Amino acid sequence: RVHISKATLDCLEEAYDTEPGHGENRDAYLRDHGIETFLIKEQEPCRGHRKLHKINSSRPRLWSDEKLCFNSNTQKLVSPKIEDYIDDNKCNEWTPEIPFENLNTSDQELEIEDGECGTPITIEGDVEHAEDIMDHCIEVESNERMRNENIDRWTLRFKQPEIETKFCQLREDMFKSNMACCFIIWLLVVCCQTIMLPRCMKLLVALAFTTVVLCAALTLVMAEEFMHLPSALQRMSSVLVQNRFRRTMFICAVVGLICFSSTLSLLFTPDEHLIRKVDNSDGDDGRRTKRRTEESNDCVHPEYLVFTWVLCLIALATTLKLYFLVKTFLASIMVAVYTGLTSLAYPQVFSQTDTEHRTMPLSSQMLLLLIVFLVLVAYHARLVEVTSRLDFLWKREAERELTEMRETRTNNRQLLRNILPDHVAHHFLSSSRRHTTDELYSQSIDKVGVMFASIPNFTEFYSEDINKGMECIRLLNEIIADFDELLSEPKFGSIEKIKTVGASYMAASGLNPGVKDGEDEYGHLCALVDFALAMKQCLQDVNVHSFNNFQLRVGISCGALVGGVIGARKPVYDIWGNTVNEASRMDSTGTMGRIQVPESTAKILMDRGYEAEFRGSIAVKGKGEMKTYFVVGKKGAVANNLSRQSSQISSLATVVYGMVQARRRQNTE
């Protein structure tokens, strides 16, 4: 039954039926103060919660649950079996929620209430195709937005100088493969000119010399990959790969050498071999064509020379990470030189060919071919530049999000460590727990020390006259914060704060069986007593600075108990058992400024060098008469000032502040 006072009943405004409670007959306080009480006769029945697992919900849906709910006037989206399951769900018993179950629960599980729509609907075919189209459109829109915000439209350089500097400092790992492709294309140029063009000793020597130089350049580029090469050569190779300016100069030199060497056939080959003369004459007995060639070494197919120039443009295009304006400029220079050679310097090479069956002169065809490849190289260079810069931006964005994710994970871990003991937090964060999410966490532990420390005279100090009691609460917070700081010291590492209730402080030691204080199984109990003594000294320091006379009353007991996590919405770690009740009674029946322990605990402490005074037998609620002792301290110990060390665990305020700052950065971006 719910027992309420007359003031509470007036606030409820007769929302419930009540009957007289007669509380004054059972409690002296109610009788002395004349408080009238009532009992509520009826109450709103609690509605249980159950969990329904979604089927085939691995990918996000396009519609909300409300749109998928069954409607008798439109369509029946819920099968009869599901309806029966939901109807039966109303009659099932209430099932408790598991603390921290969502740490390892996937998005496929959904908690629903009675009467809500929880039927999973899987839509295939056109819906999946529509989602693919939407994903593609979102990706295109994101790329376009990022490009407009960060990249100049014409130069394709980043608008922010610091980003451009970081981009230029990137290591180019594709540089080696690009140079290898250039060398292979040059070998194709050499083969083509050697086979299809007139043979000349000067030309062969020039091609061989260029091949040797390019081979040496390729060796320099690849030297970093071969450890048996000289270290100086490896350092030069590393500089080329990592320095963009030197890499650009090196590529320009290689491409320029290829371009120049590919045109030497026009310079070294004699004119009489380059020009193919055509003579057409008519005989008396019909049309007769007579072709005379000076030698078999004449240039029969001059178009192959232009084809080798096209290969040079392709070699330039293989240098993927060369800045696109530089690449376009080089390609334009190459095409201009080739056009000048074919149209101005050596026009007779292409004009003397047979044009009877051609719709366009050979020189015009070759010029058109060069222009087409120039456009393709320029377009390809711009496309590669845009792609590489967008890729760089996405990588920076991914790294930023990864950093924020790690920061959030660290804050979550620190937050969890501020509300749970370390070994309990590790249990909920461990990957092995994903298979045991339906089990409550509890642990039975022996030989645990429990401490209750309270400040009885704080209630006399508390007053709401000054700022509605805020100053008193601020002072209490400073005292509790000082107690918490003591726990950061290494010697108190086996102690866990359980909770605070008003001016009472509850802590326990030895909760983690995997952590032991040396070889002594009761070492944690000694640390707990030392912690209580340190709390007394800390409170004395507060009294000096705040001009108060607070006294600490401590009760300690040692024995077996059960520890576990309770609650689903706001889970907390708590301990239960006779040891906890005994420690609480030691506090409530103790004396201010003293540490009271039962006889069994006193014997353990005295065996370890602590001095204890026998108090006598006292009446303890639920225990009867008990022999208790007051712990004075360790024999021969000298009181010294507290030496604080910085805590390795962030405080709750620090963690919350970090999470707020991270959320603020996300909102501003």
CA distance 164 to 399: 17
CA distance 552 to 594: 7
Distance of CA 459 to the CA centre of its chain: 47
DSSP letters of 418-453?
Answer: HHS-HHHHHHHHSGGGGG-TTS--EEEEEEEEEEEE
Confidence of residue 329 (pLDDT cuts 50, 70, 90): very high
- AA identity, residue 308: T
Which carries the bigger pLDDT value, residue 667 or residue 476? Answer: 476
Residue partners of 490: CB distance under 8 A and separation at least 6? 645
Confidence of residue 353 (pLDDT cuts 50, 70, 90): low
Q: What's the pLDDT at 645? A: 47
> How buried is residue 452: exposed, middle or buried, by Cβ count under 10 Å (0-12/13-18/19+)?
buried
Q: What's the pLDDT at 63? A: 42
| Phi, psi of 254, deg, nearest 5 | -65, -45
CA distance 627 to 619: 9
Which of 396, 425, 454 corresponds to the end of one domain?
A: 396
Residue 417 lies in a domain: no
| pLDDT tens-digit readout, 214-233 | 999 999 999 988 888 888 89
CA distance 617 to 626: 5
CA distance 192 to 262: 10
pLDDT at 340 over 70: yes
Confidence of residue 108 (pLDDT cuts 50, 70, 90): very low
Q: Domain count of the chain?
A: 5
- AA identity, residue 322: L
Q: What's the pLDDT at 283? A: 42
Confidence of residue 258 (pLDDT cuts 50, 70, 90): very high
- Please indicate, yes or no, whether residues 308 and 446 belong to a single structural domain of this protein: no
| Helix, strand, coil fractions of the chain, as percent rounded to 5 | 55, 15, 30
pLDDT at 257 over 90: yes
Confidence of residue 95 (pLDDT cuts 50, 70, 90): low
Which carries the bigger pLDDT value, residue 200 or residue 586? Answer: 586
- Please indicate, yes or no, whether residues 512 and 587 belong to a single structural domain of this protein: yes
| Phi, psi of 626, deg, nearest 5 | -130, 140
CA distance 416 to 413: 5
Residue 623 lies in a domain: yes
Q: What's the pLDDT at 464? A: 66
Residue 189 lies in a domain: yes
Confidence of residue 164 (pLDDT cuts 50, 70, 90): very high
Distance of CA 350 to the CA centre of its chain: 64
Q: Both tokens of residue 526?
A: 């000694």
Rg of the chain taking only CA atoms, in angstroms: 44
Host domain of residue 87 = 49-113
Q: At 633, which CATH number?
A: 3.30.70.1230
Residue partners of 322: CB distance under 8 A and separation at least 6? 248, 251, 316, 381
Round the average pLDDT of the chain to a whole number and report it. Answer: 79
- Please indicate, yes or no, whether residues 212 and 336 belong to a single structural domain of this protein: yes
Confidence of residue 493 (pLDDT cuts 50, 70, 90): confident
pLDDT at 287 over 60: no
- Please indicate, yes or no, whether residues 533 and 599 belong to a single structural domain of this protein: yes
Least confident of 246-255, 394-403, 583-592, 646-655: 646-655
Confidence of residue 343 (pLDDT cuts 50, 70, 90): confident
CA distance 16 to 27: 24
Element (H, E) at 64: none
Residue 164 lies in a domain: no
Of the candidates 651, 652, 647, which has an alpha carbon nearest to the alpha carbon of residue 486? 647
- Please indicate, yes or no, whether residues 133 and 252 belong to a single structural domain of this protein: no
Residue 166 lies in a domain: no
- Cβ atoms of 502 and 453 within 8 Å: the answer is no
pLDDT at 275 over 90: no
Q: Both tokens of residue 147?
A: 């490009």
Rounded to the nearest 10 degrees, the angle between the axes of helix 231-242 and helix 201-222 is 90
Residue 347, CB-side half-sphere exposure with 13 Å CA sphere: 5
- Please indicate, yes or no, whether residues 36 and 53 belong to a single structural domain of this protein: no
- Cβ atoms of 453 and 487 within 8 Å: the answer is no
Residue 429 lies in a domain: no
CA distance 188 to 181: 11
- Please indicate, yes or no, whether residues 442 and 344 belong to a single structural domain of this protein: no
Residue 588 lies in a domain: yes
| pLDDT tens-digit readout, 425-436 | 888 777 565 555
> How buried is residue 337: exposed, middle or buried, by Cβ count under 10 Å (0-12/13-18/19+)?
middle
Residue 662 lies in a domain: no
- Please indicate, yes or no, whether residues 478 and 348 belong to a single structural domain of this protein: no
Q: Both tokens of residue 236?
A: 């030069």
pLDDT at 127 over 90: no
* Mean pLDDT calculated for residue range 158-179: 90
pLDDT at 189 over 90: yes
- Please indicate, yes or no, whether residues 493 and 617 belong to a single structural domain of this protein: yes
Of the candidates 634, 538, 618, which has an alpha carbon nearest to the alpha carbon of residue 586? 618
Rounded to the nearest 10 degrees, the angle between the axes of helix 161-168 and helix 362-419 is 110
Torsion of CA 58, 60, 63, 69, to 10 degrees: 30
- Please indicate, yes or no, whether residues 105 and 197 belong to a single structural domain of this protein: no
Question: Tokens 């002296």 — which residue?
Answer: 28
Distance of CA 567 to the CA centre of its chain: 29
DSSP code at position 25 = G
Least confident of 75-79, 120-124, 297-301: 75-79
Cα maximum dimension of the chain: 152
Question: Tokens 């969990």 — which residue?
Answer: 51
Question: Given phi > 0 = left and psi -120 to 50 = alpha, else beta, which region is 609?
Answer: left
- Please indicate, yes or no, whether residues 131 and 182 belong to a single structural domain of this protein: no
Q: What's the pLDDT at 651? A: 57
Confidence of residue 661 (pLDDT cuts 50, 70, 90): low
CA distance 119 to 106: 17
| pLDDT tens-digit readout, 505-562 | 999 999 887 766 667 888 999 999 999 999 999 999 988 888 888 999 999 999 999 9
| pLDDT tens-digit readout, 471-492 | 888 888 899 999 999 988 988 9
- Cβ atoms of 414 and 650 within 8 Å: the answer is yes
Residue 476, CB-side half-sphere exposure with 13 Å CA sphere: 21
Q: What's the pLDDT at 414? A: 81
Q: Both tokens of residue 29?
A: 């306080």
Q: Both tokens of residue 590?
A: 């103790």
Least confident of 11-20, 26-35, 96-105: 96-105
Q: What's the pLDDT at 462? A: 74
- Please indicate, yes or no, whether residues 98 and 193 belong to a single structural domain of this protein: no
DSSP letters of 455-470?
Answer: -TTHHHH--STTGGGH
- Cβ atoms of 353 and 300 within 8 Å: the answer is no
